[in-house]
Amino acid sequence: MSTKLPNLNILDLVIIGGGPAGMSAALIAGRSLVDTVVVNAESPRNAVTNASHGFFTRDGAHPSELFETAKAQLAAYGTVQYINDTVTSTRRVPEGFEVSLSNGSVLSTRKLVIATGYTDDLQLLGLAGIEAVYGKSVYPCVFCDGFEHRNERLALFGGEMAIHYAPMIRLWSKDLAVFTNGATIEPEALNALTSHDVPVYLEPIRSLEAHDGRLVAVELESGERIERDAGFISDEYSHPTTTFAQSLGVTSSPTDWGTTALDISEAGATNVADLYVVGDAKTGFSGIVAAAAQGAECVESIVHEIATQRWNRA
């Protein structure tokens, strides 16, 4: 695949990020003969996992296998250039956007798709030992990894949000314990959990004990050790990888969860003309199949606009 820099002509489309959302967007752009550059720093969120689940026909594939296949298949499309680099800034200009890369080049494009995902900041969890088990036996998503740990002794690490996540996790295993790591939770939530035979440990956690990435036990400050085989996390510890959307003027609104979210349409359009956001960058956590679907749907709507503009100009 070519990594030479594009000429100085204005591109139809630049896609920042080459995870499932960005690569799927690029594939549709290539198939639509749209002049496109994908810039990808190649540090996807799920790089810590060994297997990716739930993407039909590719269930259990290693995340890097999915990426390498996507990259190889994209190479067949002559109007798409793939650049392994990091975008350092984006700027609105009259004809569209300027996108600066860390190699010093600047791309000019009429339309811009941001697919830069989310970053998990494990430090925020304050769980000693989490790095060794994250993505191996402690996970963010029960749909992604619950099946592999069905009927095991599960831990749920979380404070206030645990009550919303516990009923889900119980579908995969009746043996569930909540660890708040020193956080308090509402008495009503505590009662609901214990009355469903979910013990709640409010004490701070000293460390997670693991063997070869496999959770073995949760050790509390008191020294008490509770054996667990795997776990899920309901606390917030992630943030958007980039703030390009906000700095280009995309607005936000409050959500039902007391947070804020970028105002983005179903097809990824924003309040800024010709600027789109897809994948985790849009939702916080899409999963691979939904991220890929968002990338594809977004570029289909972009292609529709380009085709209409060209038709009207002719």
Ligand X SMILES: Cc1cc2nc3c(=O)[nH]c(=O)nc-3n(C[C@H](O)[C@H](O)[C@H](O)COP(=O)(O)OP(=O)(O)OC[C@H]3O[C@@H](n4cnc5c(N)ncnc54)[C@H](O)[C@@H]3O)c2cc1C
Is 241 an interacting residue with respect to ligand X (CB under 6 A)? yes
Is 19 an interacting residue with respect to ligand X (CB under 6 A)? yes
Q: Is 113 helix (H, G, I), strand (E, B) or coil?
A: strand
* Minimal distance, residue 199 CB to ligand X, in Å: 25
For ligand X, the binding residue among 11, 14, 15, 16 (CB under 6 A) is: 16
Is 20 an interacting residue with respect to ligand X (CB under 6 A)? yes
- Binding string to ligand X for residues 33 to 72, with x set by CB under 6 A, is what? ------xxxxxxxx-xx--xxxx-----------------
63 bridge partner residues: none
Is 148 an interacting residue with respect to ligand X (CB under 6 A)? no
Size of the site for ligand X (CB under 6 A): 44
Distances, alpha carbon 79 to alpha carbons 38, 115, 116, 287, in Å: 11, 19, 22, 28
Pairing of strands 260-262, 96-101: unpaired
**Angle subtended at Cα 62 by Cα 58 and Cα 63, rounded to the nearest 5 degrees:** 90
Q: Which strands form 138-139's sheet, in the order they lie side by side?
A: 138-139, 230-233, 154-157, 176-179, 200-201
* Minimal distance, residue 31 CB to ligand X, in Å: 18
Q: How far is CA 18 from the centre of its chain?
A: 12
* Minimal distance, residue 26 CB to ligand X, in Å: 11
The amino acid present at 70, given as its one-letter code, is: A
Distances, alpha carbon 37 to alpha carbons 34, 76, 195, 243, 258, in Å: 10, 14, 55, 20, 37
Is 25 an interacting residue with respect to ligand X (CB under 6 A)? no
By CB under 6 A, the residues from 76 to 135 that bind ligand X are 86-87, 115-117, 120, 135
Instruction: Kindly tell me which of 115 and 189 has the beta carbon lying closer to ligand X.
Output: 115
Note the residues at the interface with ligand X (CB under 6 A): 16-22, 39-46, 48-49, 52-55, 86-87, 115-117, 120, 135, 139-141, 144-145, 241-242, 279-281, 285-289, 291
